Amino acid sequence: SDHTLHYPASPAEMDWSIHYPKYFPLRGTSENLDAGPSNSALISKKVEFADVGCGFGGLLMALAPLFPETLMLGLEIRVSVTQFVADKIAALRVQHQQLADGIIPEISVPEGGEAYLAAKEAAPGGYQNVSVIRANAMKFLPNFFEKGQLSKIFFLFPDPHFKARKHKARIISQTLLAEYAYVLRPGGIVYTITDVEDLHLWMVQHLEAFPLFERIADEELAKDVVVEHVRTATEEGKKVERKGGEKYLACYRRLDGPTRP
């Protein structure tokens, strides 16, 4: 349970060098303190995408090479699942560093196919821009992220908590929306998708009722490169696909306006 989770007292306390070593100098090492202007530019880099309840991380792996300069973070409450994602990122980083260095690692996909060609090319960014953290996203989100830090926040196939007495456990609620609005910048986007119609209606109802969010029209979503990955990149999305289930998508823009954590 939560007592084993550690939260930074504030976003400034967060040591991102563990997560994104290419972008943040290690804390407390003198050689990094005066490493020049490029270094201070790196330090100002911030996580911009958060995948809440990222599961096995399929969305993050798909988005990392598409936005190689954008730092993205998965938040996942299950220990073993978080570890799985962390291990996967570490392996991808090594593989892509080897590819970038011209060392061809053993490729485990059949020769000639699309996956083979993709695996032979180092992905832009080499997965240095993606990481995962074990956290209960329903608690202390403003301890990790500053006001207006995020440009995208994802809720993909969240746990439905069907029973009425369990609804308070749902990841979208009036109280939590105030936190999401706080960490999202104006113009930032909340992506929600689920195969559970009742949960979809619940999320829409709460987002509609919250004055700082505005629904994004389907025509605009059709032009958003992220949306197809929201539908298909995660393990849960693939499972729904195999079962031939319906997917309900609803995305909202964070409007300009004041908010408190």
**177: its two tokens:** 């929306």
8 Å CB contact between 19 and 50? no
**Closer residue to ligand SAM, CB minimum distance, 126 or 158:** 158
Footprint (CB under 6 A) of ligand SAM, residues 187-226: none
Given the residues 87, 159, 224, 256, select the one marked as catalytic: 159
Q: Which residues are within 8 A (CB) of 42 and not within 5 positions of it... i.e. 6 or more apart?
A: 23, 24, 25
Output phi, psi for 152, to 5 deg: -145, 140
Q: Up-side HSE of residue 65: CA atoms within 13 Å toward CB?
A: 15
Count of residues that bind ligand SAM according to CB under 6 A: 19
What residues numbered 108-167 form the site for ligand SAM, per CB under 6 A?
136-138, 156-159
Interface map 26-65 toward ligand SAM (x if CB under 6 A): ---------------------------xxx----------
Q: Which residue, 1 or 38, is less far from ligand SAM as judged by CB?
A: 1
Instruction: Tell me: does residue 74 bind ligand SAM (CB under 6 A).
Output: no
Report the nearest approach of ligand SAM to the CB of residue 145 (Å). 14
Question: Does 159 qualify as catalytic in the annotation?
Answer: yes
Buried b / exposed e across 109-124, counting CB within 10 Å, b at 16+?
eeeeeeeeeebeebbe
Tell me whether residue 27 or residue 239 sits nearer to ligand SAM (CB atom). 239
What residues are paired with 75 via a beta bridge?
52, 133
Asked if 135 contacts 52 with a C-beta cutoff of 8 angstroms, the reply is no
Under the rule (CB under 6 A), what is the footprint of ligand SAM?
53-55, 75-78, 81, 136-138, 156-159, 234-237
Residues classed as catalytic: 159
